[in-house]
């Protein structure tokens, strides 16, 4: 991919993330007043029965169902869940910030690398743009408000799962580029990432009637997916550390630190249902992305 083609991709990413930010803001205006009531209700009752309840009955339903709500799994959720209760406003703020992060992040990448060639930055930009798709989770409360077929919910969440793995593999590919992968094979690498993400996504069972308090659908093989994420996480960090040794540049060690912070922030950002997501998650993700961009720019500026 030439520098001109890559810059066109960055500009398209900026436009796309801008549209996603506006859409998530508009959707939040619709869903925030209703989401507490919707998520407290038993999905098997149906949306009409939920909204036919009177105020007193709905309050009792919230109290009864609150004990049965499923919270997300994962180490960060477990730790933060000991101190923080689930908060749907925090989840919505999280989704708005995910779109804003992708927009600000791709603008930052474009400003840093408009005239600087860096093979890793294309994959990092894909990782950044992918956060705009987290707004897809708002389809869950919208589904109960407008009562459209659950078939579309399943398709949308498969798309989200595909994007999450594709973005993770993208950061993994950035580490391989830093470690010595030939730049000419960029298109082949992207094609392999698409195929791998598609295979993983299509083989996952998704229950549209089962969700957790972070507005994520519950899917099968969750422990296996966490293992894949951890392996990709560690391999990416190690790849940048190897690049620092082989190329004799300490800046790659800071890039590895940025990857570590960004992936930790991503895990918190995506998988918690409380204020740790929009506070700690976005902080780690932003600092990590800044390290990635600034240090890679410094490395390739003098090449």
Contact between 251 and 298 (Cβ < 8 Å): yes
Residue 195's H or E segment, with its range, is helix 186-202
Chain centre distance of CA 191: 21
User: CA 291 to CA 281: how far, in whole Å?
Assistant: 16
Predicted confidence at residue 110, as pLDDT, reads 93
User: CA 191 to CA 166: how far, in whole Å?
Assistant: 10
Ranges in the chain, pLDDT < 70 = 35-69, 181-185, 209, 219-221, 302-303
Predicted confidence at residue 303, as pLDDT, reads 55
Half-sphere exposure of 220 (CA within 13 A, CB side): 8
- The total number of structural domains in the chain stands at 1
CA angle 166, 171, 175 (to 5 degrees): 140
Contact between 137 and 161 (Cβ < 8 Å): no
| DSSP 8-state symbol, 209 | E
Taking residue 15's Cβ as centre, other Cβ atoms within 10 Å add up to: 11
Residue 242's H or E segment, with its range, is helix 222-246
| DSSP 8-state symbol, 68 | T
Residue 11's H or E segment, with its range, is helix 3-40
Q: Show the beta-strand stretches assigned E in 59-216.
A: 206-211
CATH number, domain with residue 36: 1.20.1070
> What is the extent of the structural domain holding 111?
3-301
Predicted confidence at residue 220, as pLDDT, reads 64
User: CA 141 to CA 82: how far, in whole Å?
Assistant: 26
Sign of CA dihedral 11, 15, 20, 22: positive
């Amino acid at each position: 991919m030439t520098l001109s083609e890559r810059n066109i991709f960055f500009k398209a990413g900026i436009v796309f993330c801008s549209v996603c930010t506006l859409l998530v803001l508009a959707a939040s205006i619709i869903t925030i007043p209703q989401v507490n009531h919707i998520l407290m209700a038993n999905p098997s009752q149906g949306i009409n029965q939920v909204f036919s309840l009177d105020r007193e009955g709905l309050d009792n339903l919230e109290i009864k169902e609150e004990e049965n709500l499923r919270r997300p799994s994962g180490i960060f959720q477990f730790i933060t869940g000991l101190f923080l209760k689930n908060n749907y406003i925090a989840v919505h703020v999280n989704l708005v910030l995910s779109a804003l992060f992708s927009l600000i992040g791709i603008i930052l990448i474009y400003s840093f690398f408009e005239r600087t060639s860096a093979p890793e930055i294309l994959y990092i930009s894909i990782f950044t743009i992918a956060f705009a798709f987290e707004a897809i989770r708002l389809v869950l409360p919208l589904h109960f408000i407008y009562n459209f077929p659950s078939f579309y919910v399943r398709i949308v969440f498969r798309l989200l799962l595909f994007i999450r793995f594709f973005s993770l593999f993208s950061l993994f590919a950035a580490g391989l580029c830093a470690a010595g992968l030939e730049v000419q094979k960029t298109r082949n690498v992207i094609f392999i990432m698409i195929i791998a993400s598609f295979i993983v996504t299509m083989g996952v069972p998704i229950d549209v009637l089962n969700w957790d308090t972070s507005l994520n659908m519950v899917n099968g093989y969750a422990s296996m997916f966490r293992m894949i994420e951890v392996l990709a996480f560690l391999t990416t960090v190690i790849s940048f550390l190897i690049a620092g040794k082989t190329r004799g540049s300490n800046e790659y060690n800071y890039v590895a630190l940025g990857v570590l912070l960004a992936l930790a922030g991503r895990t918190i950002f995506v998988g918690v249902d409380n204020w740790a997501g929009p506070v700690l998650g976005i902080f780690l993700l932003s600092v990590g992305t800044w390290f990635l961009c600034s240090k890679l720019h410094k490395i390739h500026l003098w090449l």
